[in-house]
Copies of this chain bind each other. A is one copy, B any other.
Amino acid sequence: MNYEFSDKVTGLQPSAIREILKFTSDPTVISLAAGNPAPEAFPVKEIAEITERLLKTNPVDALQYSITEGYTPLRETMKERMAASGCFNPDSDDLIITSGAQQANELSCKVLLNEGDTLICEAPSFIGSLNAFKSYHVNLVGVEMDSDGMNLEALETALKNANKPKLIYIIPNFQNPTGLCTSLEKRKAVYELAKKYGVMILEDNPYGDIRFAGKDIPSIKSMDKDGIVIYSGTFSKVLAPGLRVGYVSAPKPIIQKIVVCKQVSDVHTNIMAQIICDEYMRNYDMNAHLEEIRAIYRHKCGLMISKIDKNFSDKITCTRPEGGLFIWATLPENCDMMSFCKTAVEKYKVAVVPGTAFLIDDNETSHSFRLNFSTPTDEQLVKGCEILGKLSKEMFD
């Protein structure tokens, strides 16, 4: 049988990262290619306590159908926390629970864009979001990144010239894959440009809570006087990603449409996981927990940077992130990034992700690759950087 698929999904391929990750199922491969939080950062004991108590005292609430908007006490907790950080405006916004930030980002695209409308994003950007947007057959336009965020001239050109621009997608904190932060100045400028051209902003902030150096920068959402910013967040990096609990805060009419789409997508998010997130914040010290996580990542990022500095060819330049999970390494134009990544995994059993995986069209050229420091053990991280360093010197020096 020759199956015919919808135009939306005909060209959609599994994420290119998967091809690399195939190698990582070999236990002898050191993977610096993942994006998983460090398992030692999961509050296992507390989650076990909450779950045991819950299934003893209130099992039906944890197992029965629930409402699409999310577990009401968790929504209240998050509204308070988000209002405190300027990411929720009690007068005009609503906030709901989603199945990870992935769902929040996907549904924002579904409710706002017709097929062919333009969504503007950073280039490179998070492949999971890019594929979500592609699955609605929208026109994706990438804007090149400077070290302090999107290039503003390129952004304005895109806003002027694109077919029906509707949404700017941006990860302002420790962006995936580059690890870069958008400066306060640029956040303001992006906001003003969105306003000028009548488009909305989708601010995706999965990593904001794991800043381990430098100072917090106000979110774009906190500048929103015009009701044009949708803000998504997640418990994946601060509690545990297997729970699949995220949230989205936006002007009420937007949230109403997202709720209708979420209802037809999965009815509601796993309710036990929602209660776990809420009880954790109510009964344990979330801020102390965040400090612990930040210490783990501060250590791991520092270790990776020191090993890069010691071992890598001088031809490779790397970002120095102040938070998040990733470092972005860039080769000179005359060096073959893809051959480096392939040799590393096939011959030396160290996996990184080729930069092409984060482009709108992965046939385009990239001279960069992504390194992850959150998932490997310290030992793997050190050994992996030594091997990559040796190979880089062999190939490029």
Q: Is A14 an interface residue (CB 8 A)?
A: yes
Is B55 a contact of A51 with CB atoms below 8 Å? yes
Q: Is A148 an interface residue (CB 8 A)?
A: no
Is A110 a contact of B270 with CB atoms below 8 Å? no
B-binding segment of A111-119, A214-222, A384-392: A111-119
How many copies of the chain does the oligomer comprise?
2
> Hey, which chain B residues are within 8 Å of A103, CB to CB?
265-266
Within 8 Å by CB of A3, from B36, B64, B254, B259, lies: B254
Q: How many interface residues does chain A have, given as a range?
A: 35 or more
How far does the Cβ of A23 sit from chain B's closest Cβ, in whole Å? 15
> Hey, which chain B residues are within 8 Å of A332, CB to CB?
none
How far does the Cβ of A96 sit from chain B's closest Cβ, in whole Å? 13
Is A131 a contact of B263 with CB atoms below 8 Å? yes
Is A64 a contact of B242 with CB atoms below 8 Å? yes
Q: Is A102 an interface residue (CB 8 A)?
A: yes
Is B266 a contact of A242 with CB atoms below 8 Å? no
Is A242 a contact of B261 with CB atoms below 8 Å? no
Is B251 a contact of A14 with CB atoms below 8 Å? no
C-beta contact mask, A221-248 vs B, less than 8 Å → 1, else 0?
0000011100000001000111110000
**Which residue from chain B places its CB closest to the CB of A109 in the assembled complex?**
B6
**Which residue from chain B places its CB closest to the CB of A6 in the assembled complex?**
B114
Q: Is A253 an interface residue (CB 8 A)?
A: yes
> Hey, which chain B residues are within 8 Å of A268, CB to CB?
244
With A135-B110, A244-B268 as given contacts, are A263 and B5 in contact (CB-CB < 8 Å)? no
B-binding segment of A40-48, A177-185, A347-355: A40-48
Q: Is A154 an interface residue (CB 8 A)?
A: no
Which one of A111, A128, A261, A265 has the highest number of Cβ atoms from chain B below 10 Å of its Cβ? A265
How far does the Cβ of A135 sit from chain B's closest Cβ, in whole Å? 5
Is A131 a contact of B264 with CB atoms below 8 Å? yes
Is A227 a contact of B1 with CB atoms below 8 Å? yes
Is A8 a contact of B114 with CB atoms below 8 Å? yes
Is B251 a contact of A267 with CB atoms below 8 Å? no
Q: Is A99 an interface residue (CB 8 A)?
A: yes
**Which residue from chain B places its CB closest to the CB of A130 in the assembled complex?**
B264
Alpha-carbon distance A228/B271, docked complex (angstroms): 34
> Hey, which chain B residues are within 8 Å of A272, CB to CB?
242-243, 272-273
Q: B-contacting residues of A (Cβ < 8 Å)?
A: 1, 3-9, 12-15, 35-37, 39, 42, 44, 47-48, 51-52, 55-56, 59-60, 62-66, 99-100, 102-103, 106, 110-115, 117, 128, 131-132, 134-135, 166, 226-228, 236, 240-244, 251, 253-254, 257, 259-261, 263-273
